[in-house]
A and B are shown apart, each in its own frame.
Chain A
Amino acid sequence: MNLRRRLLIEWALIALFGTLAVILATHWRGTSAFDNLVYDQLSSISRPKPDNKILLINIDEASLARVGKWPWNRNIHAQLIDKLASAGPRTILLDVLMSEASSAADDRALVEAMQKSGAVYLPLNFHSPGSDGKAYDTEYPLSVLDAAAKGVGHVNITFDNDGIVRRINLCFDSGERSWPHLAELIYRNGAAPSPAFAGLARCSQHLLLPYAPRDSYSEISFVDAHEGRIPDQLVKGRDIIIGATAAGMGDNYPAPFSDGGVVSGSEIMANVVAALRRDDFIASAPVWQISLFSLLPMWLLMLGFLRWQPRTALIVSLCLIATVLVAGMVALSASIWFPPGAALIGIILVYPLWGWRRLQAMSAFMQSELGELEREGEIVPLALNPDRGSDLVGRQSAALGSAIDHLRDLRRFVSDSLEHLPDPMFVTDMVGTVTMANHRIEDYLGPKLKGTALKSLLDRIVAPMHRRSVDEYLRAIEREPTGDHQPFVRFVSPDGSHFVMRSAPVVNDLDVHVGQIHYLADISALAQAESDREEALQLLSHDMRSPQSAIIALLPTVPDKDVSRRIEGHARRTIALAQDFVDVARMGESPFEGTDVLLTNLAHDVTDNFWPLAQERSVRIEVIDDSDSGFVLAEPDSLGRAIANILDNAIKFSPVGGSIQVRTRRIRDVEARMLELTICDEGPGIDPDLLPRLFTRFAARSVPDARIKSSGLGLTYVRAVAERHGGKVWVENGKKGACFHLRLPEAADPIPDPAA
């Protein structure tokens, strides 16, 4: 499988898994222990100051020692309330349960004291589970006390899973009615509810309680207050909370303090009242917000995995953990609590998971790629070296390393080869930009060819007059990269160098055509040789001919006519030899360029040329056209010469007074319409043994047959011409003499002209 695809799938699975884990952790509070720990640490960083409008009166060990065993006579409480009331407190919270009646006198005394002060608040108690299937039974204070109290509220303590009191509920629903917290009633003291109470989403909602430092509230012992050792200023305008602190009375609770100590119920009450005044309860964020808060960093990290280096991912993970904690702290200071545990779980889960899966995928990929490479067998040896890695990945890395070394060598080899090619070479991509160029072409056109357009490169190296053919060549290759087209294009550069350009498609591993490689061969030397050769041929055909013509021109002044005639013969023979040589040499040097030739017309032309010779030997030549005006696509020069060679041979070996028949006719060949020119003489014919190889050079040179020998290169030339015209030539012995057959394809019909 494609590595990239596999990694994406792994990635998606990890993202899904991480998301599920985080959401489940959020919902099931799986991280509450950790969250509580963090909460305790964070909340201890900055604690609110104690409310100095609150005075705690503690029923402590000293008080018990002095007053006596608990429960005390209610008269004692009445006395204290009387004393306090005289100093003018704002409220008095008597945090002592008084649900049963004691002696009527004592109860009355307390009722009177309460009524007199008019500021006493009493707690309620609940039993759970309640009777008759109710959730709770409400335990009211003694009805007389209840009536005398300014307010009655609940003082329930909520324990977290770890038994620590971090939160309270300002409102408690007993199933029959809902009770505000006693602290709330103190806050109100007959006035409007606190903002925190008003802002409760539902009655039972818990709020996290910010604790002032332990034992920071003003407090005095019950016994001191009872015995009057308390200045009135300490009481005046304050909220007095009377509660038990003595260890044996069971009203002490573990609170979120780092030293792990306990706080008394009344201190908790004081903190609640203070928090109500400051309005700084800490609300737990709703679950959906926590989920989001927990998922966000994980998702960020997952996205990052797709782009970052592993090292960056690690740093970012650590940063994210810190960020989550800091964000929690910041939120906390804004009185909102986001438990960071789920978020941290997300981060800590996906990081190693991704690392593992990615390594696994890489490992599998490396394994398969290396296997592939080995199978292709281009880079050997690729055996895994067991000494070079302790584990599988280590061994794979070693194998990969050596594979890369090999590829590097290969690349080096390729680039060196290109670089040191003796000829200019460059590569272009599909949009015609040069992506690679070797030194030779940069020597030629200047450096920095890479990135330039093919068009401008050609502008510089191809002379304008050749530009079209080069462009056509490139277009043909682009249209059909592997199709049949001319194998190269030849052009001249502006400075006069001659080049042959060959282009080939570059195909990648998936057989997709990705560019072109262009190879230029500097054939200036070859072109020079060509033009030298042309010059030499020119010399033979023209310059050698010229003095021979002059010799012939001089002949009329030679008095001896016989000598004159012989000199002329030699001069003409010299000319003919030069002509033969040039004709043979030139043939095939240029591409076949045929024109429409009426075959019988050409036969007449050649025959007429031989009239003087034929006349000399009294040979009659008859030209017959049975072809009904058949045309061939021919080069009149070479074809005429080929016919002449056959005819010359026929005349030379015709008996005196013999006749030669030159006949053209149409042949229905298997595949094409053909025309055939037949030249039959009445000579001695040809040795049948020689017939099959008559037109080879071998036959021409080494056969004792005078007839063949005399034709020299002539018949070889004839065969070359026939083949050049797409035809063939053969000879057979007819009734009287030899018959030469020259069979050529008939020219295609011209496109009919509508105006004709």
Chain B
Amino acid sequence: MGGYMRIAIADDESDVVNYLKNLVEEMGHVATSFSDGAALSQSLVRETYDLVIMDWTMPKKDGLATLNWMQTSLQERPPVIMMTNRTAKKDISDALNAGADDYITKPEDPSVICARINALLRRSAGSGAFEAKAVYGAYTFDRIDQTVTVEDKIVTLTAKEFELADMFFRNRDRTLSRNYIMETIWRTTAALATRTLDMHISRVRAKLDLKPENGFRIFTVFGYGYRLESIEKR
């Protein structure tokens, strides 16, 4: 990942802002901080950012309002990570359905936050170009043979399962909506029983043995979609 990125951080809690700022700067990026949604919005008009991390609950203009404003008023909207203290799954799916690209429930481990930031920056940098072979920890994807090798063992997947797994790994640590997944893999959103996706994912998890011990887990965002999380081995 070449060069640094410009990241806007908005939260009314200065300690959290500083914590995130340190984290982002340690990653080699440039962080600009704001204490409320209005200030962030003002800056977004003039400046260009590669990523926005903002709190849901902010004075003057809260996260959702800012997000809506960005949807309608900015020509090119940077990806947004919504941070929230809310844990109800409905709140999370609401935020994502409102257009947030991802969300983080506070408090979250620094490693997870970094992974999420990277996932979004990867996307906005346009990376993920098709290489014949890709290695993610113990998993090796051969895109020509459409096979996955887990620690030297070849796992046989159907075409759809391979596509699904490949998509998750390329977008690891990024929350993908069900619609996005279905559009990409099945090229349709309609006419596909929602259970089909759940069952495919369940099979991919079983076949690839995706679990924290192997460095990855599939996380279900109920009411929205799925995310493949990379687990940092302690």
Q: Give A residues with C-beta under 8 Å from B.
A: 541-543, 545-546, 548-550, 552-554, 556, 571-572, 575, 579, 595-598, 600-602, 604-605, 608, 611-612, 615, 625, 629, 631, 636-637, 750, 752-753, 755-756
Contacts and interface: CB of A to CB of B under 8 A. Distances in A.
A546 B13 contact: yes
Contact of A548 (B87, B107, B110, B222): B107
Contacts of B220: 601-602, 605, 636
A608 B226 CA distance: 14
B198 A596 contact: yes
B19 interface: yes
A575 B107 contact: yes
Which among A546, A571, A595, A753 has the greatest number of chain B C-beta atoms within 10 A? A546
24 contacts: A541-B86, A542-B85, A545-B87, A549-B106, A550-B16, A553-B20, A553-B107, A554-B19, A571-B107, A575-B107, A595-B223, A601-B202, A601-B205, A602-B220, A604-B205, A611-B213, A615-B212, A629-B199, A636-B220, A637-B222, A750-B195, A752-B193, A753-B191, A755-B191
A637 B88 CA distance: 7
Contacts of B16: 549-550, 553
Contact of A550 (B13, B57, B202, B231): B13
Nearest to B205: A604
Contact of B202 (A553, A596, A629): A629
Contacts of A552: 107
Contacts of B213: 611
Contact of B89 (A625, A636, A752): A636
Contacts, number: 106
Given A549-B107, A636-B222, A541 B15 contact: no
Contacts of A625: 202, 206
A542 B86 contact: yes
Given A541-B85, A596-B198, 5 more contacts: A541-B87, A553-B19, A596-B194, A598-B195, A637-B88
B85 A549 contact: yes
Q: Which secondary structure characterizes the binding site on chain A?
A: helix
A610 to B, nearest CB: 9
Interface in B167-214: 190-196, 198-199, 201-202, 205-206, 211-213
A731 to B, nearest CB: 26
Interface string B55-89: 00100000000000000000000000000011111
B53 to A, nearest CB: 13
B219 interface: yes
Nearest to B90: A637
Contact of A611 (B18, B19, B211): B211
A625 B209 CA distance: 13
A423 to B, nearest CB: 34
Contacts of B13: 546, 549-550, 553
Contact of A608 (B106, B192, B202, B211): B211
Contact of B222 (A543, A595, A600, A756): A595
- Which interface class (under 10, 10 to 19, 20 to 34, 35 or more) fits B? 35 or more
Nearest first, the 9 A-B pairs at minimum CB distance are: A553-B19, A755-B191, A611-B212, A549-B106, A552-B107, A636-B222, A545-B85, A549-B107, A608-B217
B217 A572 contact: no
Given A598-B198, A598-B202, A541 B88 contact: yes
Interface in B89-146: 89, 106-107, 110
A605 B210 CA distance: 11
B7 interface: no
B54 interface: no
Nearest to A631: B195
Nearest to B212: A611
A540 to B, nearest CB: 11
A746 B195 CA distance: 14
A750 to B, nearest CB: 6
A553 B107 CA distance: 8
B199 A546 contact: no
Contacts of B89: 636-637
B156 interface: no
B191 A756 contact: yes
Contacts of B205: 601, 604
Contacts of B190: 755
A548 B223 CA distance: 27
A130 to B, nearest CB: 123
Given A548-B107, A550-B16, A750 B212 contact: no
Contacts of B106: 545-546, 549
B168 to A, nearest CB: 14
A756 B193 contact: yes
Contacts of A602: 220
Nearest to A571: B107
B153 interface: no
A741 to B, nearest CB: 22
Contacts of A541: 85-88
A601 B201 contact: yes
Contacts of B15: 550, 553-554
A597 B221 CA distance: 12
B218 interface: yes
Nearest to B203: A629
A717 B106 CA distance: 25
Which among A601, A608, A753 has the greatest number of chain B C-beta atoms within 10 A? A608
